Structure 1
Amino acid sequence: MTSEQSVSKLNERPKFLAQVRQAAIVGEISRVGSVTVSDLAQQLAVSEMTVRRDLVELEKDGRLIRTHGGAVKPDRAPTMAATVAFDGEEPAFDARLARNVALKRRIAVAAAELANGARSIALDVGTTTYFVAEALAPRAQAKIFTNSIRSAAQLSGRGVETYLAGGRIRGEEMSTSGPSAVGQFEMLWFDIAFVGVSGLTSDGVFDYSFEETDMKRVYLTRASRKIVLCDSTKFDRMSLVLVAGLGEFNTLICDEAPTGPLDSALKKAGVEVIVAN
């Protein structure tokens, strides 16, 4: 092999490695729908900067759509209708907890009533689900599974048998997430799951955080009854990540009945709507 051929081979190797990485990224995003830069960097054993460059190239080819901190499949990026608002930044937990408290408590009480008789209950992270934790009464043989550290502490402090997913702690939200947390809970089956969302449109339900989306999807796929909790201020609002389509949950608990295209879409998807009074 000549020196010119050796140089050529060396120059080809990084390109080949990039192709392998990008194929792996496309495969992962096809499998789960969305990815984060940090998770990909860990899985591929490369820097986050390298992953970002790969995402730029893949977006140019139309194979994904970049978002803040990651990317989603092209078909999971919903079109934004004129009547739909976009929320780009997630407010702090305490700020969200102080919003629409009366509405959220009404929803939480209705949710707790539906949990009567359930022996295994999945409880998502969020402010409305935190109020559900407050409303749930201790019952013999009932077990609650959650990735919310706040809810777990509150429930266990009242003698409720509670299981907290172990994983990476998201400090500002006081939640656990990541492959370890997902791996633990995707082995279980729940009688009922309560999932909080940041928005609801005709496309489905949304959340701000990539980190917590995987756990929400576990709850929605591993429960017999899948319940979304959403107050009316979140109707026709979307945020960073599309968690699930309307056909991927059974029941919506809200404080006011949806109207217009959203109401029609929910009916078409067969979603039961419970208005908490």
Structure 2
Amino acid sequence: MEAESQLIGQGPKVLAQVRHERILEALARRGAVSVRDVASEFAVSEMTVRRDLIELEKEGRLVRAHGGAVRTSKAIDAAPASSIDREEPVFEARLTRNLAAKHAIASAAAKVVAGAQTLAIDVGTTTFLLTGLLLDRPHTKIFTNSVRNATQLASARGEVYLPGGQMRRAEMSISGPLAVSQFEALWFDIAFVGVSGITAQGIYDYSFEDTEMKRVYLRRATKSVVLCDSSKFDRMSLVHIASLQQFDMLITDAAPRSDLAAGLAAAEVEVLIASRTNDGAGPARG
């Protein structure tokens, strides 16, 4: 805002050039920017920022994605186009993808819960299936930023908590500084985190809005568990959530391959392979 005020009187074209330069500087430092953050910094509308991003994408200087943009780095340029998910499919479409695998993962996750009394459950399709298996737990407190999860848990015997904040309508998730600060003050026995992709470099998500809460779950849990079906192996999307070293367990439906398997082993992540045939889980792998 201060930078913008110093340039008043220089005309809209100059101001747009300054925004473009600052956006590119932020991309160079962080790898990604959000429309909301840029609009707040320059005291302009989000529509203005989206136009800036469109112009910069036409020049080949960034890649637009849901809620913001990522830089055109060597890592992204070198990756096959099919390995980068730039747009977030709607919840209902995601729910039907690899449904048998997701049911198996959810069943294995429900067994991991065991005697835990405070659970954090992230937004996502597999986490949504998990909540449906946790209705009969009278002494459990469940914290979630998903309105879908909370609605499904309405008949649960345990206690269910949602944070305050802004709801992202498409995902029905609660996010923002208030939500983050409320859950940052808590400590969970187990946190279950959903992701859009996983590589040897870490875990990814589509949305800036939801990512900070995922990081809260990872930080504030005695045991942090990532739920990810094997179709998401070696795939990236807009936001890098965390490295492999920042969570404790991966529950999936197939053994990770090559570099990913080596990265998980080096990070000492326990890998639990869920069985699709008997809703059990295979032996854990380090």
TM interval, shorter chain, is 0.7 to 0.9
Corresponding residue of 1:233 = 231
**Residue in structure 1 matching 2:147, options 127, 149, 155:** 149
Q: Which residue pairs with 1:119 in the alignment?
A: 117
Partner of 1:104: 102
> Aligned pair count?
266
Deviation per CA, 1:107-132: give whole Å up to 9, x if none: 01111111121121110001000011
- Structure 1 range deviating more: 250-259 or 129-138: 129-138
- Provide Cα deviations, 1:54-77, integer angstroms capped at 9, x if missing partner: 889x99xxxx966433356899x7
More displaced stretch, 185-194 vs 123-132: 185-194
Q: 1:203 aligns with which of 187, 193, 201?
A: 201
- Once the two structures are TM-superposed, the CA of residue 148 in structure 1 deviates from its matched residue by 0.7
Q: Which of 130, 133, 143 matches 1:132?
A: 130
* 1:1-277 alignment runs, 5 A limit: 34-42=32-40, 45-48=43-46, 67-68=64-65, 69-71=67-69, 80-82=78-80, 85-277=83-275
| Aligned residues with identical type, % of pairs | 52
Distance 1:162 1:123 in 2: 11
Residue 27 of structure 1: CA displacement?
A: 8.4
TM norm structure 2: 0.77
Partners of 1:185 and 1:26 in 2: CA distance:
32
**1:207 and 1:239 in contact (8 A); partners too:** yes
Rate the CA distance shift 1:49–1:97 in 2: closer, same or farther, 3 A: closer
Separation in 2 of the partners of 1:50 and 1:205? 31
- TM-score relative to the length of structure 1: 0.80
Q: Secondary structure at the match of 2:224?
A: strand
- In 2, Cα distance between the equivalents of 1:33 and 1:159? 43
- Conserved 8 A contact 2:224-2:249: yes
How far apart are the structure 2 equivalents of 1:185 and 1:197?
19
Aligned 8 A contact 1:170 1:177 in 2: yes
The residue type equivalent to 1:166 in the other structure is: G
In structure 2, the partner of 1:5 is none
Return the letter of the residue paired with 1:234: K
Which amino acid in the other structure matches residue 101 of structure 1? L
Give RMSD over aligned pairs: 3.6
**Contact 1:123 1:145 (C-alpha < 8 Å) held by counterparts:** yes
8 Å CA contact 2:135, 2:155 repeated in 1: no
Residue pair 1:84, 1:236 contacting (<8 A) in 2 also? no
CA distance in 2, matches of 1:156, 1:29: 45
Q: What is the Cα deviation at residue 50 of structure 1?
A: 6.1
Post-superposition CA distance 1:235-275 (Å, at most 9, x none): 11111211111111111000111121111111111111000
Structure 1: state its 5+ residue gaps: 1-7
Distance 1:33 1:183, change over 3 A: farther
Residues 26, 32 of structure 2: 8 Å contact kept: no
- Alpha carbons of 1:73 and 1:184: their partners in 2 closer, same or farther (altered >3 Å)? farther
Contact 1:128/1:196 (<8 A) preserved: yes
Counterpart Cα distance in 2 of 1:100 and 1:131: 13
Shift in CA distance, 157/145, structure 1 to aligned 2, threshold 3 Å:
same
Query: 8 Å contact 1:232–1:255 — kept in the other structure?
Result: yes
CA distance 1:183–1:26, shift in 2 (3 Å): farther
Q: In structure 1, what residue type is equivalent to 2:35? A: V
Change (3 A) 1:23 1:80: closer
1:147, 1:175 within 8 Å by CA — same for their partners in 2?
A: yes
How big is the shift at 1:196? 0.6
CA-CA distance at 1:9 after TM superposition: 10
- Rounded to whole Å, the distance in 2 between the matches of 1:222 and 1:78 is 31
AA in 2 matched with 1:47: S
